[in-house]
A and B are shown apart, each in its own frame.
Chain A
Amino acid sequence: MKEKLEQIKQRALSSISEAVDMDRLNDVRVAFLGKKGELSRILKGMKDVAPEDRPKVGQMVNEARSRIEAELEKEMAVIQKRMLEEKMKSEVIDVTLPGIRPADGHRHPNQIALDDLERVFIGMGYEVVEGPEIEYDRYNFELLNIPENHPAKDEQDTFYITKDILLRTQTSPVQARVMETGVMPVRIIAPGRVFRSDEVDATHSPSFHQVEGLVVDKGITFADLKGTLEQWAQEFFGPETKVKFRPHHFPFTEPSAEVDVTCFKCGGKGCRMCKGSGWIEILGCGMVHPKVLSDCGIDPEVYSGFAFGIGLERIALLKYEIDDMRLLYENDVRFLKQF
């Protein structure tokens, strides 16, 4: 009996090792372990075994079963693993085929520049506010120390609706509107559309965008203005950016400055973009003129402030190397999808 069992076990084991797939393995299971399998048959033949030997035979049968089962499990794992590998081998894809893009909406480059700019100033504690695009002469000019008959008020530059109402030529009127509320301290940026009577060409548009900045508080200095814009420029154009302040004139600031940054294309070495100078002019700024403060109801002996104005299109055009301003208003998706 013992030999017979041993024989069955050996045959089972060799059948297992010869099995090449799950079906064969299953056949082996049925043939040896199934209800009508060889081991079952031995158990059925127990009645012919002497009663005192039965426990021993039973034990031997169980041992043989466990061994075969273990071997089956092992082989099954091997075959499964091999099958998975074969399956995956047949499932190779060409990963260089194009991806499926769920949607292809893109942000307008001007808006991206504005978002970047806002992010930096919001981080520095500035609130984003807006003002009307159709504005009173009083806010656009008078309160900004641009008196009647100033050349800047010339019809050549300004679109008028009536004598007193016009399309704002700058975002600076928002300054006056914010200061007039008298809520101190002021720390705002005011982005928006502005309008000037320029014919459309590669570098001009009758409608464009500015971002105005204004800080008013006790003890604000020109040094604060320099530090703020330097900080912004380094966040916006990169940490290596250098900033140069040049004296300039605006009616509503004194002292005033124009600001250049090191050319972000050549890093200041000089290239076509910066016309060889290494610098690019990006904005105008200055200390709020004491007359502007007092006309807006703020005591210039107590408070001081600085203001700056950034041309958004100019920055977007430079940053993305767009050579024609008209592209910004055409909305051709082949242009828009590049951003």
Chain B
Amino acid sequence: MNTPISWIKAYVPDLDCSVQEYVDRMTLSGSHVENAVYLDRNLEKIVVGKIVRMEKHPDADKLLVCQVDVGDEITQIVTGAPNVFEGALVPVVLDGGRVAGGHDGSPYPENGIKIKKGKLRGVVSNGMMCSIEEMGSSREMYPEAPENGIYIFDKNKGVKPGDDAVEALGLRDAVVEFEITSNRVDCFSMIGMAREAAATFAKPFYPPEVKTCGDDDDVNRYIAVEIQDEDLCPRFCARVVKNIRLAPSPEWMQRRLAAMGIRPINNIVDITNYVMEEYGQPMHAYDLDTIRGHKIIVKRAQDGDVFTTLDGQERQLDHDVLMINDAEGPVGIAGIMGGENSMVTDSIQTMLFEAANFDGTNVRLSSKRIGMRTDASGKFEKGLDPENALAAINRACQLVEELGAGDVVGGCVDVYPRPAEPVALPFEPDKYNKLLGTDIPADQMLVYFDRLELTYHQDTNMIDIPSFRQDLRCSADLAEEVARFFGYDNIPTRLPQGESTIGKKSLAGRVEELCREVAEKLGFCGSMCYSFESPKVFDKLLIPEDDPLRQAIVIANPLGEDYSIMRTIELNGILTSLATNYNRRNKNVRLYEIGNIYLPKALPLTELPEERKKLALGMYGDGGFFLLKGTLEELFAKLGLEGKVTWEPSGEKSFLHPGRQALIYISGQYAGFIGQVHPQVCANYDMKTDACVAGIDLPLLVSKATFDRKYKGVAKYPAVNRDLSLVMKKNIFVGQVEKMMRDKGGKLLESIQLFDVYEGSQIAPGCKSVAYSLVFRSPERSLEAAEVNKVVDKILVELEKMGIEIRS
């Protein structure tokens, strides 16, 4: 909401503070200022000058040498403007002054343009005469200003040489833009903001005095109104103005509209716009002679109806769009835009004014469906106060009379089937103080309320809530009114008392933290990926057509197909990020992400899906599969899971290399996967490198993790070491061998350490050599060689059974 301070002062004349103070205090009382535009920005040393003599430049055809009376002296100014004449009153910027910009209307420089005296073709010029553009404004706002010329003051305006030209143009003002919250519909009006300003600065507030106007004629002779769809139109007020006399509106009105960025047009249009800004109530003017049957009917459109709005566009309608009709058909879309068929033209004789109240939601949804948002619909969709409609239409008619724009017909057609019930709330000062933690006296609260036109009745202890304050409905609402005028700053600060609570993170939170720590310690960077992705992801990951992973939740209104499904697998984000890094030539990249996947229980969703948190790790460059595996081993060790994890060779994950992947089980339960990314998948992500990924199910990790540790004692007795060098077929996994060794090794086998794997020319084709160091130890005594040999023999027997050759 833009408000020129000058306009606010029209209702709060005692308001006397700097713009900055106004901005600060209004913000602290709840009207947040987005910004303040000073209309006199960069306008310095600009006075009214009168051209007393004018002659041609001796050396330039197009230049004029003027002697200008600037109040205290006559000074010489050279100009190239064609429209000046002797006796003209013009804005003159003096030597050392400043203007907002050039006269060609190009964007204004940050600090304006400094004007210094100089010579033009050898003739001294002590300043510059200004166009309206150089004054930082435009012909849109000052229609009397000439095109390509100096602004010339109306000589009847009472300005004289030496006057402040900025003031004379009404530019000693600032337009303050407020961010109005959706609950304060009343503040989308000049009067509403003035009321807030008056309350904030504790100054008297003088809203416009609206008197009954109109002649002895009767409006009912001209128009009848019928509301068929009351749910969408709670109120409709209509008045008639005859003998319309179109003319420019007076300067004060033009200036105020100009400051709001509204182009003045003529008295009737300007009055409509003016009242819309002043009261926040959109109005519409019809040419009454085009209204067939002298009747207005408010009702819903039919599906498939087409209607031409006054901008000449054809609009498709449906049965939820509310229309204004005359006796024969539609003449306007309610609250959005009038029709071409009833619009006001220069030949208008008799005018019908409409000030109605329409359902905000319906206007919002209709304007969206039709694809047309107007100033009027923007106001209506906030949900206006029906009481305001009558006040606004009467104000408009009063202005018509004041401006002599026509003859107002007596009376008003006011169809208001169910007037709003007045609202009153009990006055509960203790409750307000209890909620705020303050000790504000009840009397003081009533002072604040009075300024806001909330009337207190001592006998009933009730407060009348004015109709324009639709936001005040309970004691907390009134507490807020107290708080904002007492000042949020003045409310004390304390910490909550009462029963103490324990600050903590869940076990899941701790496990997650540990995952981050281990991943980061081992070189993985934390990343963040979107939860929604493209359905094409499944193809990129080579997920089979019938795989349950393809049962993804679809967003009904996504930003686009690429963001349309909720991920069911944690890989795409990390692979996309790896690819981004790869294509930017980053070397040795390791990333991890902790985030949810979304698994529907049934599609379409009838209940919330399962959200499962996953740890995804991805890498390319140094390391590879075993570095990634080692990272997970480190993580599992930190979570107390050492010895409980098995890595099952698998070919089941379509997105992984069939010979380089494993499923991870913790105590026999599936916990995730690890593997080298399938070369085709790498290609699908535009990566010309091998990459490895792992995905771990965090809920399972949480259920298995333990932070309990028991000290086992450091071995006192010596260990016996036995090294075994084995040659086996490549397709035997060392995991099988190790499992067997553990089974047969019994209590005495303390550890198995694989220290070499070799494949190559020294070994038979299709075989690999694997070397182990076995450590035997007893916690109770020194072991005899014979005991150890017995165990080793058992292992050797099993190895032979597995077809494994022992080399030493």
Contact = CB atoms under 8 A, between A and B. Distances in A.
Contact of A132 (B364, B475, B522, B611): B611
A110 B611 CA distance: 21
Interface string B437-472: 110000000000000000000000000000000010
Interface in A249-286: 249, 254-258
Given A128-B505, A304-B435, A329 B529 contact: yes
Contacts of B479: 254-255, 287
Given A122-B505, A255-B476, A223 B494 contact: yes
Given A219-B498, A255-B484, A105 B524 contact: yes
A224 interface: yes
Contact of A223 (B365, B493, B577, B595): B493
Contacts of B557: 155, 159-160, 197
A161 B498 contact: no
Contacts of A231: 495
Interface stretch (B26-34, B134-142, B227-235): B26-34
B437 A249 contact: no
A187 B474 CA distance: 25
Interface in B460-514: 471, 474-477, 479-480, 483-484, 488-489, 491-506, 509
A185 B499 contact: yes
B436 interface: yes
B477 A107 contact: no
Given A108-B526, A128-B506, A247-B483, A254 B495 contact: no
A230 interface: yes
B527 A134 contact: no
Interface in A195-246: 195, 197, 199-200, 206-207, 215, 217-224, 226-228, 230-231, 244-246
B611 A331 contact: no
B760 interface: no
B555 A127 contact: no
A44 B440 CA distance: 114
A331 B488 CA distance: 41
For chain A, what secondary structure do more than half of its interface residues adopt (helix, strand, loop), or is it mixed?
Answer: mixed
A231 B488 CA distance: 17
Contacts of B797: none
A308 interface: no
Contacts of B502: 125, 127
B181 interface: yes
A222 B491 contact: yes
B528 interface: yes
Contacts of B580: 330-332
A151 B381 contact: yes
Contact of A162 (B182, B471, B604): B604
A86 interface: no
A337 interface: yes
A72 interface: no
Interface in A122-136: 122-129, 132-136
A98 B371 CA distance: 62
Contacts of A249: 181-184, 471
Nearest to A192: B596
A74 B395 CA distance: 115
Interface stretch (B264-272, B558-566, B800-808): B558-566
A309 interface: no
A95 interface: no
B525 A333 contact: yes
Q: Chain B: interface residue count, which band?
A: 35 or more
A193 interface: yes
B528 A165 contact: no
Given A151-B182, A329-B529, A223 B437 contact: yes
B520 interface: yes
B498 A185 contact: yes
A35 to B, nearest CB: 40
Given A207-B530, A222-B436, A222-B483, A290 B474 contact: yes
A108 B525 contact: yes
Given A104-B523, A227-B495, A161 B553 contact: yes
B596 A133 contact: yes
Q: Point out which of A128, A215, A331 has the most chain B C-beta atoms below 10 A from its C-beta.
A: A331
A105 B531 contact: no
A128 B504 contact: yes
B501 A125 contact: yes
Q: Point out which of B438, B528, B557, B590 has the most chain A C-beta atoms below 10 A from its C-beta.
A: B528
Interface in A157-174: 159-162, 165, 167
Contacts of B504: 122, 127-128
Contacts of A128: 504-506, 509
B501 A222 contact: no
Interface stretch (B50-58, B250-258, B581-589, B727-735): B581-589
A215 B496 contact: yes
B166 interface: no
Contact of A103 (B523, B592, B611): B523
Contact of B493 (A193, A226, A287): A226
A153 to B, nearest CB: 10
B498 A218 contact: yes
A333 B586 contact: yes
A218 B497 CA distance: 9
B570 to A, nearest CB: 14
B13 interface: no
Given A128-B505, A224-B437, A257-B488, A206 B559 contact: yes
Contact of A127 (B184, B491, B503): B503
A157 B43 CA distance: 42
B497 A247 contact: no
B393 to A, nearest CB: 27
Given A247-B30, A256-B480, A289-B476, A160 B501 contact: no
B559 A199 contact: yes
A123 B503 contact: yes
Given A111-B516, A223-B437, A291-B474, A246 B528 contact: no
B476 to A, nearest CB: 4
A228 B495 contact: yes
B17 interface: no
Contact of A331 (B497, B525, B608): B525
A199 B491 CA distance: 40
A121 B502 CA distance: 11
B608 A105 contact: no
A132 B532 CA distance: 15
A108 B526 CA distance: 5
Interface in A285-339: 287, 289-291, 304, 328-334, 336-337
A217 B494 CA distance: 15
Contacts of A129: 506
A118 B241 CA distance: 66
Q: Point out which of A126, A199, A222 has the most chain B C-beta atoms below 10 A from its C-beta.
A: A222
A279 to B, nearest CB: 10
A248 interface: yes
B591 interface: yes
B556 interface: yes
B753 interface: no
Given A103-B521, A105-B522, A123-B503, 19 more contacts: A103-B522, A107-B516, A127-B505, A134-B609, A134-B611, A151-B364, A161-B556, A193-B531, A199-B559, A220-B496, A221-B494, A245-B491, A247-B29, A247-B30, A255-B476, A255-B483, A258-B32, A290-B474, A331-B527
22 contacts: A107-B520, A110-B528, A125-B501, A132-B611, A136-B608, A149-B361, A160-B555, A160-B557, A167-B532, A206-B559, A222-B491, A223-B437, A227-B493, A254-B479, A254-B480, A258-B32, A290-B474, A290-B475, A332-B586, A333-B586, A333-B591, A336-B525
Interface of A: 103-108, 110-111, 118, 121-129, 132-136, 149, 151, 154-155, 159-162, 165, 167, 185, 187, 193, 195, 197, 199-200, 206-207, 215, 217-224, 226-228, 230-231, 244-249, 254-258, 287, 289-291, 304, 328-334, 336-337
The 4 A-B pairs with the shortest beta carbon distances in the complex, nearest first, are A223-B437, A221-B437, A247-B30, A249-B181
